[in-house]
Homo-oligomer: A and B are copies of this chain.
């Protein structure tokens, strides 16, 4: 499998993971099949769409409609499959699938920015994050739920670590980009999976809420 195929596969896995988690997340809010599919597709391709608009390149799904079809079918399956799943298991599965998706997209998004020499070396980190969390942010805003930026889960920090590590390693060992890509996606997923499993929260030195609350009174 060459580099292009590899990143294509990463992207498709991420698309499926995002569409499914989006649908599972909005069903309890009482969405219908059409809304669920729109949410699934927007979450799956939204981050990459914003990335491509910022990079000023043709939007990726316009040149390969498989991205749309895959996210549409994944959304429909998730919508009707919801009944078959136990609620607690759904929630756990959703978290890990989402972790898989963001780990795929952080590397894939950064890679597209690198290929275009966009704002090196910070641009790829920003566009990797945009690809990974952009779709989810749009979903939360459209669904009227609190966005991940306002939550205390250890979510975006592992992604940023993964993206920064990817940039450092690529700079040191430019000949091993595929291995480094797989490694960083795996590393990012493991970091996120540990955070999910241990229900880790952002450490205290990164929080100011308690203090802010005191001061409010």
Chain B neighbourhood of A147, CB < 8 A: 142-144
Min distance, Cβ A132 to any Cβ of chain B, angstroms:
12
How many residues of A are in contact with the other chain, CB < 8 A? 57
Q: Chain copies in the assembly? A: 3
A17-39: which residues lie under 8 A (CB-CB) from chain B? 26-35, 38-39
A54-84: which residues lie under 8 A (CB-CB) from chain B? 54, 56, 58-59, 61-63, 65, 68-69, 79, 82-83
Is residue A126 contacting chain B, with contact meaning CB distance below 8 A?
yes
Contact A28–B144 (Cβ < 8 Å): no
Is residue A115 contacting chain B, with contact meaning CB distance below 8 A?
no
Contact B143–A141 (Cβ < 8 Å): no
Is residue A2 contacting chain B, with contact meaning CB distance below 8 A?
no
Complex Cα spacing A83 to B141, Å: 30
Chain B neighbourhood of A61, CB < 8 A: 119
Contact B30–A207 (Cβ < 8 Å): yes
Complex Cα spacing A83 to B214, Å: 11
Min distance, Cβ A189 to any Cβ of chain B, angstroms:
18
Contact B152–A30 (Cβ < 8 Å): yes
Task: From known contacts A59-B54, A63-B119, infer whether A150 and B207 are also in contact, taking CB-CB under 8 Å.
Answer: no
Chain B neighbourhood of A39, CB < 8 A: 149
Contact B65–A202 (Cβ < 8 Å): no
A170-207: which residues lie under 8 A (CB-CB) from chain B? 202, 205-207
Q: Which of B35, B59, B137 contacts A149 (CB 8 A)?
A: B35
Q: Which residue of B lies closest to A62 (CB)?
A: B119
Complex Cα spacing A59 to B215, Å: 39
Contact A202–B141 (Cβ < 8 Å): no
Complex Cα spacing A212 to B53, Å: 37
Q: Which of B122, B123, B143 contacts A150 (CB 8 A)?
A: B143
Task: From known contacts A32-B206, A152-B30, A212-B30, infer whether A58 and B56 are also in contact, taking CB-CB under 8 Å.
Answer: yes
Which of A32, A39, A56, A157 has the most C-beta atoms of chain B within 10 angstroms of its own C-beta? A32
